Copies of this chain bind each other. A is one copy, B any other.
């Protein structure tokens, strides 16, 4: 396999972007990534998107996006793994370049969620239709059950969960691409509307529009496009039973642990080597579960990570310096690529006020559904 590098990145601001359609969002992000690298063509495009069909009546995003980018003709396809669609797009782009099939690949993600669709029910199609959704549950309920299971087994309080949101909003306030660029207090989080006990409104990532894109090429060609390439050193994709009830322990995210194991193995690193991580906090409880499953912290330390400041900027292992899904926003198909861009910028020393000093090794973890799929990537500044 050839070594692969990221040489350019672009993303829209995340938010309720009423003035932009699905295709507008894509073109804005893809165009920025191409311009950043000074590239005027690509061999192949992967579009990570969860549900263009249900959200805006548009499937077949590969050719549509190639066309609107002015590149009709190139290989292009959509890939989907619910909220992990962006991460999977990165992985397949990585494999295509590593294989030698293509030299220049755009790995992208896009979602347009605010065009009038019944968002909660569309998102629920990422859960097990026959065993879960049919009976009326949607994702806030599923993650509330994960939180309750965790609370039963461990010393986890509503306050611990709330600190995750406080920390991520603090990070997001420094991110000009974030949907919410303001801080929230512990009191505001703890007093926000109950959505699904114990999860409150400010424990939930928002409904967002947005797109993100990165340009990949063989490492040995990277200097043509940038003097600060970032190498992809590990990629792991894994699954777990779809329905929460079919898992041995609903509080344990096995797909996250397996995908991490594969990525660490490929990169020949251990969790302790990671200096900055973007983790899938679709609900604040998820960040705690994922940090543990990734091995970044032991369970007890993961539970208290945001309380002690261990996972904040300046802490032992800064998590979600971008603001995470909670503050940066969560246009589901775009999230995995947006996470990648945060790490790309961190490893290039371009993260501004959010910079983790001296970061050379970073990780992204992007998850689908209630954790039935997870994809982990490890990156190294070169």
> Which residues of A come within 8 Å of B, CB atoms?
1, 21, 23, 44, 50-54, 56-64, 66-67, 72-82, 88, 92, 95-96, 98-101, 122, 125-130, 133, 236-242, 246, 254-255, 258, 368-369, 372-373
Q: Is the CB of A67 within 8 A of B246?
A: yes
CB contacts (< 8 Å) of A81 on chain B: these are: 60, 62-63, 77-78
For the complex, give the distance between the alpha carbons of A241 and B63 in Å: 7
Known: A60-B80, A67-B240, A76-B239; 20 extra A-B contacts, CB below 8 A, are A1-B100, A23-B130, A52-B125, A53-B122, A54-B54, A56-B129, A57-B125, A57-B133, A60-B82, A61-B80, A63-B81, A63-B239, A63-B240, A66-B239, A67-B372, A72-B241, A75-B236, A76-B373, A77-B79, A95-B96
Q: What are 24 pairs between A and B in contact, CB < 8 Å?
A: A1-B101, A44-B237, A53-B53, A58-B125, A59-B80, A60-B81, A60-B126, A60-B373, A62-B88, A62-B239, A62-B368, A63-B239, A63-B241, A64-B372, A67-B241, A67-B372, A72-B239, A72-B241, A75-B239, A76-B373, A77-B79, A77-B88, A78-B80, A99-B100
**Quick one: copies of this chain in the complex?**
2
CB contacts (< 8 Å) of A63 on chain B: these are: 81, 239-242, 255, 368-369, 372-373
Q: Is the CB of B242 within 8 A of A64?
A: yes
For the complex, give the distance between the alpha carbons of A21 and B51 in Å: 21
| Chain B CB within 10 A, most for which of A74, A98, A99, A241 | A99
A10 to chain B, nearest CB (A): 21
CB contacts (< 8 Å) of A82 on chain B: these are: 59-60
The 5 A-B residue pairs with the shortest CB-CB distance, nearest first, are A99-B99, A63-B372, A63-B239, A75-B237, A60-B82
Q: Is the CB of A95 within 8 A of B88?
A: no
- Could you say which of B59, B125, B239 contacts A73, with CB atoms under 8 Å apart? B239
Closest to A76 in B: B239
| Chain B CB within 10 A, most for which of A59, A73, A75, A82 | A59
CB contacts (< 8 Å) of A88 on chain B: these are: 62, 77
- Could you say which of B58, B59, B75 contacts A238, with CB atoms under 8 Å apart? B75
